[in-house]
Amino acid sequence: MKIFKWLGKFLGIIILLLVLAGLSYRLFSSGPTAPGKLVDVNGTKLHIRAEGEKNELPTLILESGAGGDTEMFHWIAENLKNEVRIIRYDREGKGFSEETEENITPEFYAKQLHQLLEKNGEKPPYILVGHSMGGPYNRIFRDLYPNEVKGMIFLDASHPEQWKRLAQKELYDKNKASFLKGVSFLGDIGLTGLYSQISSFKPKEDDLPEDCQKRNRELTAHSGKVYRRFLKEMAINDTILYRAGQSRDLDSLPVLVFTATEQYREAQKKKYRKEGIDPEKQVQIWFEMQKELKELSSNSEQFIMESNHGSIITKKENADKISKKILLMAEEIK
């Protein structure tokens, strides 16, 4: 019993010291610096990165997915910023943007983006480029402002019915949601940031430059904000998908659909097989839904990319191919 008591006190002291060290990190570390600027929209400061000169070509609006940010579009922005005006931004609460205190409705983000563009002096016409969940967000924007949108590009974009038709029934399952809650708490008390300072661990970011990876690591480690935003995205995901599914067809609007061939890593494939689910069938269903995105417009093309869901835009050679198609669309629209 004495040994157990001694061990308990020892562990308690260690935990207390770790918490104090983490809080000190939060208190004295400045955190990462936003690469763009912050624009006030109804009391919420949103992070926006505007590159390229305004010209006769439509402005590109790049919309990230649920777990993405402005860094994901690095190569596309680099490829096209000398040809067209490009806007990258973080939705409220994501990346370097502040969290809003306003009521979140399915149309909230489209309206907030519209206000952000006006505040920053941007003017239509726009081409909307959406990766993953960025696709549904863009469909809602186009539904509200059809006269301002002259083209749409879906980058392995989400489908309104994906949770009904795929084995995965939600953005994050309960286990992952619990994990995100735990890590967000550790981030808020500074332990994830402290760990990042003493650890040499560097997550693989699919060919993004080191400065992009560094900002992402610092932003993720500095507090629990990034993880809490994942949870918020999970809470609103179904309503966003439902509203996107209610949007009108795109008629003859120019549309490009890029679809990744690899949807599941080996660990996920093994998990599905244990549950009696054929992962190849799941990929087939995804391809069917991607074809349905193409069929939203009578003026559309689909391209199959040898990539996974993330590397379709973060790997330079993939971004190069996509960029050429985007520029061709912009020139044809002009």
Question: What pLDDT does 287 receive?
Answer: 96
Whether 196 shows a pLDDT value over 80: the answer reads: no
* Residue-range domains of the chain with CATH: 37-333 (3.40.50.1820)
- Bridge partners (DSSP) of residue 128 are 61, 152
Nearest to 123 by CA among 175, 213, 55, 42: 55
Per-residue model confidence (pLDDT) at position 25: 64
How big, in percent rounded to 5, are the helix, strand and coil portions of the chain? 50, 15, 30
Task: Give the tens place of pLDDT for each residue, 279-329.
Answer: 899 999 999 999 999 999 999 999 999 999 999 999 999 999 999 999 999
pLDDT at 31: 74
Non-local (6+) Cβ contacts of 127 within 8 A are 58, 59, 60, 61, 149, 150, 151, 152, 153, 326, 329, 330, 333
> Model confidence over 204-254: pLDDT tens digits?
556 899 888 888 888 887 788 888 888 888 999 999 999 999 998 999 999
Residues 45 and 98: beta-carbon distance below 8 Å: yes
pLDDT 10s digits, 181-194: 887 887 777 767 66
Per-residue confidence band for 177, with pLDDT thresholds at 50, 70 and 90: confident
H/E stretch holding 228 reads helix 225-245
Phi-psi region of 132 (alpha: psi -120 to 50; beta: other; left: phi over 0): left
**Half-sphere exposure of residue 149: CA atoms within 13 angstroms, side-chain side:** 24
**Is 203 a residue whose pLDDT tops 60?**
no
pTM assigned to the model: 0.90
279 in helix, strand or coil? helix
Residue whose token pair is 């301002």: 148
